[in-house]
Amino acid sequence: MTLLVAIAPEGYRDEELDEPLSVFKRHGIAYDIASTRTETCHGALGGTAQATLKFSDADPVKYEGLVIVGGPGSPAYLWGNRDLAGLVAGFSAAKKLIAAICLSPVVLARAGILKGKNATVFASPDAVAEMRKGGAVLVNAPVVAEGSIITANGPSAAKAFGEAVAAALKH
């Protein structure tokens, strides 16, 4: 069982990557990290992570789910990324798990998979507007799971987000 974890090359939220990865390791869930480029990515709080795949090279068939990490780099690098949007569409068409935290649920809204679905997001004005534009039903909760889609609202929900993803994969 392997997940594809998507991060911004600059400005991903460190704990939104580190805490879910810790949960995945504890549950024996493998993962690959992807970004816009294959090199060292830099977290907003000074951490680093190695992206071994570019979004354009990732194949949804190889993974049980997609996890998109948030942070201040999300609007600049992820919201409008066509390759990432294509991955979301591929995972959605295959009815696989798709999860996003913080500012990154906007990627799901822009991909059109949140229409009429309950979801949460970090409550910045831009993110809330994008979620509404994508038809999401916004819920004020740390983690929201609806069907095969899991969203979380920010760093304080990172561990619970990771646990929700792990639990969804076990079913």
pTM of the model: 0.98
Q: Can you give the residue ranges of every domain in the chain?
A: 2-170
Per-residue model confidence as pLDDT tens digits over 28-71? 999 999 999 999 999 999 999 999 999 999 999 999 999 999 99
CB burial of 143-161 (b: ≥16 within 10 Å; e: otherwise) equals bbbeebbbbbbbbebbbbb
Q: What is the DSSP letter of 31?
A: E
Question: What CATH number does the domain located at 2-170 have?
Answer: 3.40.50.880
Going by C-alpha positions, the residue among 69, 121, 113 that lies closest to residue 95 is 113
* Total count of residues recorded for the chain: 171
pLDDT tens, 2-36?
Answer: 999 999 999 999 999 999 999 999 999 999 999 99
